[in-house]
Structure 1
Amino acid sequence: MNKKINDIGKLSGKVLLFGGVYSNLQALEALIAVAEAEGIPPENCICTGDIIGYCAQPEETLQTFKTWKAKSIVGNVEIQLRDDEDDCGCDFRVGSRCDNFSQQWYPYAKSKLSQDSLNYLETLPDHIKFTLSNKTVSVVHGSYFNVSEFIFKSTDWSIKAENFEAAKSDMIIAGHCGLPFLDQQDDKLWVNPGVIGMPANDGNPYVWYAILDDSKPLTTVNFRKLDYDYTRTNQLMLNGLLPESYAKTIVTGIWDNMEILPETEKQLQGKPILL
């Protein structure tokens, strides 16, 4: 399968990075306000995919994103919705809690999206490439090879190294795993800015994003916490159609389960993230 790669050229100034909006309109609106306050134009705001997901406002979220004119690649959820598939394509183990929950939120999201939104998903590329401070950056969802591959900080560097080689990039910006982290070896940098649609299993309701700045070394990734009206998000999710466990996570900051996590990341549950 040929990849659709959108090379957006050389960027300057600040670049806002985020992922996993997950149909969380309140978080997206808060992030847009940050971008405006920081003077970051929409073309310098880049999402690692999964604009649609667990929360209650998929259509409103996607239309808001489209109107904002920020850039995004496809996540596994966008691919499945675009292709009219019956599951989220998240690569959850069959019969797991995540798999069972996806049989609630994915059909809900699918039922809410307009044809205009589905048409918009058709326009999203598999990857985005750009240069910043004379470094080549690639944006992927899971990995360069597999949109649903879970790559964590504890994932062996040899796996990451294969991605850098295939992408021909100095930096990879990735999503999918839901946890913010930075991993560096020599002159290669793997960055997951985190997701804004769900907390990072650290016991706090805020969510994560990151900013690059061409006035600073590219290795200086400014990870930030995003505060937003999570109470409203929680209330909207308690509609009888979505998993109540995910609505609870919105306010507690603790994941319902850790089925996708390696042992290293499991040990970090409820602990502050220091980046």
Structure 2
Amino acid sequence: MDKKIKNIGRLQGKILLFGGVYSNLQALEAIQEMAKTENIAPENCICTGDSIGYCAQPEETLQAIKKWKIHSIAGNVEIQLNENAEDCGCDFSKGSRCDGFSQLWYPYAKSQLSNNSLDFIKTLPEFIQFEFVNKKFTVVHGSYFNTSEFIFKSTPWQNKLPNFKATNSDVIIAGHCGLPFTDSNEELLWLNPGVIGMPANNGNTAVWYMILEEKEEMLTFEHKKLTYNHILAGELMLKHSLPKEYAKTIVTGIWDNTEILPETEAKQQGKKIAF
């Protein structure tokens, strides 16, 4: 099957990167306000997918993204919703805690979405490509080959490199794994801005995004924290009988489990993230 790629051309000015909104309307509203304050135009805002997820306001979140008119790719959740699938397609191990929780939040999200939102999901590309500071960028969710592939900083470069070759890219921007990181190999860059819908397992309720800029004809990139009304987000999850373990993560900054994490990242639980 052909890949659905959207090329948005050559960008200029500040670029906002974020992903994993996970139906967290409060976090989305906070990053919208930040973009407005920083004068980042919607056409320079890019989401790495999974706008729908664990939190309580999937319909409101998707409609807000549509109204904002930013660029977004489809994450595995959007792809599954578009196909009317019965699971989130997150590639969780069968019978794991994450798999069990997904059997609560995914049917809830599916039940909340309007036909208008489902039609909007159909318009989302699998990948976005653009040029910036004389470099070619490709935005993927997990990887170019597998939307649900978990790629972390500790993932070997032999797993990352084929993505650059297949897309003829200098920079890959990815999401899905839930943790912000930057990894480089010679002239190639793998950037994960992190997610705004859930904290990064570091014991801090703030979430993560990334800003790209051109300074002195050079590409610069910076991971940034975002604070938002996480108390309300957690309360709404409990109100709608969504997994209380995820609601706890929202207010503690610690994941319920580290099932998806490689050993390197699992050992970083509760520790400050350094770049």
| TM-score tier (shorter) | over 0.9
Instruction: Give the distance between the partners of 1:158 and 1:240, measured in 2 at CA.
Output: 43
1:218 deviates by 5.4
Secondary structure of 1:111's counterpart equals helix
Q: Deviations along 1:182-231, whole A, 9 cap, x unmatched? A: 00011100000000000000000000000001235655311100000000
Deviation at 1:239, TM superposition (A): 1.9
Structure 1 contact 45–70 (Cα < 8 Å) conserved: yes
**Following the alignment from structure 2 to structure 1, what is the Cα–Cα distance between the partners of residues 86 and 174?**
25
Matched, 1:56 2:56: yes
Structure 1 unaligned blocks of 5 or more: none
The secondary structure found in structure 2 opposite 1:99 is: helix
For structure 2, the residue ranges without an aligned partner over 5 or more in a row are none
- Give the secondary structure class of the aligned counterpart of 2:239: coil
Which residue of structure 2 lines up, in the alignment, with residue 235 of structure 1? Answer: 235
CA distance in 2, matches of 1:200, 1:239: 23
Partner of 1:259: 259
Counterpart of 1:86?
86
Amino acid at match of 1:153: K
1:145 aligns with 2:145: yes
Distance in 2 (alpha carbons) for counterparts of 1:78 and 1:216: 38
Q: Which residue of 2 aligns with 1:69?
A: 69
Counterpart of 1:58, as a letter, is P
TM-score by length of 1: 0.99
Offset of residue 238 of structure 1? 0.5
Tell me the number of residue pairs that the alignment of Structure 1 and Structure 2 aligns: 275
Deviates most, 207-216 or 137-146: 207-216
- What is aligned with 1:202? 202
1:214 aligns with: 214
For 1:248, give the aligned amino acid.
K
Contact 1:212 1:218 in 2 (8 A): no
Q: CA–CA distance in 1 between the matches of 2:134 and 2:67?
A: 30
| Cα deviation code 1:112-165 (max 9, x no counterpart) | 000000000000000000000010000000001000000000000111111100
TM-score of the two chains, using structure 2 as the length reference: 0.99
Contact 2:213/2:219 (<8 A) preserved: no
Q: Which residue of structure 1 aligns with residue 248 of structure 2?
A: 248
Percent of matched pairs sharing the same residue: 64
Q: Distance in 2 between matches of 1:217 and 1:182?
A: 20
CA shift at 1:167, angstroms? 1.1
CA distance in 1, matches of 2:156, 2:77: 26
